[in-house]
Chains A and B, each alone.
Chain A
Amino acid sequence: MDFEETLSTSFEALILNKTRTALSVLGIVVGIASVIALITLGQGSQKAISDQIESLGSNLLTVMPGAQVMGSVRSYMGSVTTLTYEDAKAIAKSPQITAVEAVSAELIRNTQVVAGRANTNTMITGVMPAYAQIRKLEMESGVFISQRDLDSQTKVAVLGPQTVSDLFGEGTDPVGENIRINKINFRVVGVTESKGGGGFFNQDDVVFIPLTTAQKQVFGQDHVNTISIAAKNEELMEQAQNEVGYLLLTLHNLPEPEQADFSIMSQEDIIGAMTEVTSTFTALLSGIAAISLLVGGIGIMNIMLVTVIERTREIGLRKALGAKKKDIVAQFLVESVILTGAGGLLGIILGTLISLALVKMIGVPWTFSFNSYLLASGVSAIIGIVFGFYPAYKASNLSPIEALRYE
């Protein structure tokens, strides 16, 4: 039987039962749409994370407290207090260390910051002067934290552009103004240029103060959260990692590398760990969406079985007129593939719209993934074949006599 006829026969049958057709397609639409939306969202946040981390520079090493476990971070940042300002100073000064260009230790806390009547909750980061060089920060106006600020624990602050617009309004230059952190007055001495990004990883929503001021006067802490290290160049990354590792083991009186109470991660390691987390999350959500696809498929099978029973006489008649089993199978399979194919197409459109909306809401980049579209179309066609096959097979096996007698 030729394909064109099969196709037009199937369309006629589907159009006859518009409501039923629409409802059975709906299951597939919802399933495909959620798969598309979740995959797009997952890939978007992955890209956001790697973009952010990438923008910090490829020669950056981060020392974190707590041992390294299978390439991922074991403890919540800040819950382990094994790193100190002295560690950072030792790394900077040690003659054994040759591959490191700059070192900065950081203490990070989220706190309310007040300026006049405005206030915002932001990331207070106690830093050393080398931080700007390591993180490739440029100044929009004013200056960054200096060594003199660090030595004398001065109360000066450098704001990120997001914090400036939160506290002073967009486009204003707050250098010389005062802000209050934990009821302590700080003088704004500089504003950094925007590093871009948004959402969870906004590098512009930040206040930098001298590390010593943060430790002694604001938060009363002796430890630091991270030590950032810039290697002299990318080729020296591994050497820098080793040198810093051995020095820290010695400083912490740990004879064996296995006992390390810190971990040193390159940007690549961090991206890897973060990607692992988001991929697991994306896979989990996609799995849930896939279950809804399965349910949609069962709905299609159900409808096709009803259709076969309704059209028993028609099937008998077609067989009497010379239709072979494969003609009958083809007719019903085409019908169910049209159903799921249409569902897949609508699902792709709906899923794209949903993902565009979500991406905008959450603030991660929208990524076009040809693969996920291909996957969704393939999956919906396969669902049509898999779940349409049993009803079609059942139809093709009807005896023409029985079928013609059916009332």
Chain B
Amino acid sequence: MLLQTDNITKTYQLDGIKVHALRGVSLGIEKGEFVAVMGPSGSGKSTLMHILGALDTPTSGSYFLEGKDVSQASDEALSEVRNQKIGFVFQAYNLLPRATALKNVITPLIYAGVGKKERVRRAKEVLISVGLGDRLENRPNQLSGGEIQRVAIARALVTNPSVILADEPTGNLDTKSGDELMKILQGLNESGHTIIVVTHEAYIAEYAKRIIHLRDGEVVDGL
């Protein structure tokens, strides 16, 4: 099992009221899977995504990533987990606005402590692999929405992570670019990458091999 959650809950205090975002979610994802997490807004899918992505820790329960419990890890340890094991693709416009495509892709490698020549070489390689070899020096404002998301995929791939987490990756794209993006993700899955996509759109979820439905903080289908 690549990642496994064991009865995780998440409770927030929102204006003095307790909000139960997750009410005991247990699921496992194998290496090489392509999973879509679906659910209406408020279902807890974003919270689940944050915990799976080591951006947050659960209130109770445990979360094993490659056999290691990260549910109680410190801030610093979580930073390392995110850097080494997880590749994020957020909604559009989550690139560093002042940095070129190349610089954006290099950034996680800087935090990983990879040497200068090596990180430039690796970043160029993945950018070429997503078809942006001629866009290396362009800034986000000179790129189309589809291109921006391809830079984001390249950035997620460059550290060679265990899992790629995409949070509403087609949220700001038209249907055509959305389809293209999902095809890229599908291709990556076929070449062995584990991919989790969080979405509320059924046609996006169709690309996945398995769909997990969430409702009111519980898994209702897809285990």
Contact = CB atoms under 8 A, between A and B. Distances in A.
Interface of A: 1-2, 4-5, 12-13, 16, 313-314, 317-325, 327, 399-401, 404
Contacts of A327: 111
B56 interface: yes
B171 to A, nearest CB: 13
B97 A322 contact: no
A32 B56 CA distance: 45
6 contacts: A319-B82, A320-B90, A321-B88, A321-B107, A322-B84, A322-B108
Nearest to A328: B79
A2 B50 contact: no
B141 interface: no
Contact of A321 (B75, B76, B82, B98): B82
Contacts of B55: 320, 400-401, 404
Contacts of A12: 98-99
Contacts of A401: 50, 55-56
B82 A16 contact: no
B13 to A, nearest CB: 14
Contacts of A319: 79, 82
Nearest to B107: A321
Most buried by B among A317, A318, A320, A404: A320
B56 A404 contact: no
A322 B76 contact: no
B170 interface: no
Contacts of B84: 322
B51 to A, nearest CB: 10
Interface of B: 50, 53, 55-56, 75-76, 79-80, 82-84, 88, 90, 94-99, 107-108, 110-113, 116, 155, 159
A322 B90 contact: no
A12 B99 CA distance: 9
Given A1-B111, A324-B76, A401-B50, A317 B83 contact: no
Given A318-B111, A321-B82, A322-B83, 14 more contacts: A2-B116, A13-B98, A319-B79, A319-B82, A320-B53, A321-B107, A321-B108, A322-B80, A322-B159, A327-B111, A399-B56, A400-B55, A401-B56, A404-B55
Nearest to A8: B103
Nearest to B155: A321
A64 to B, nearest CB: 70
A232 B155 CA distance: 88
Contacts of B94: 313, 317, 404
Nearest to B156: A321
Contacts of A4: 116
Contacts of B110: 1-2, 5
A319 B53 CA distance: 12
Contact of A320 (B88, B112, B113, B116): B88
Contacts of B88: 320-321
A4 B55 CA distance: 27
Given A2-B110, A5-B110, A324 B98 contact: no
A325 B75 contact: yes
B111 A324 contact: yes
A401 B51 CA distance: 10
A404 B56 CA distance: 13
Most buried by B among A4, A327, A400: A400
B98 A322 contact: no
Nearest to A320: B88
Nearest to B159: A322
B98 A16 contact: yes
Nearest to B80: A322
Contacts of A318: 96, 107, 111
Contact of B76 (A16, A313, A314, A325): A325
Contacts of A1: 110-111
Contacts of B107: 318, 321
A179 B209 CA distance: 115
A37 B145 CA distance: 55
Nearest to A403: B55
A400 B86 CA distance: 14
A122 B65 CA distance: 92
Contacts of B95: 317
A187 B112 CA distance: 92
Contacts of B116: 2, 4
B96 A323 contact: no
Contacts of B112: 322
B82 to A, nearest CB: 5
A321 B83 contact: yes
A322 B111 contact: yes
A319 B83 CA distance: 9
A5 B107 CA distance: 9
B107 to A, nearest CB: 6
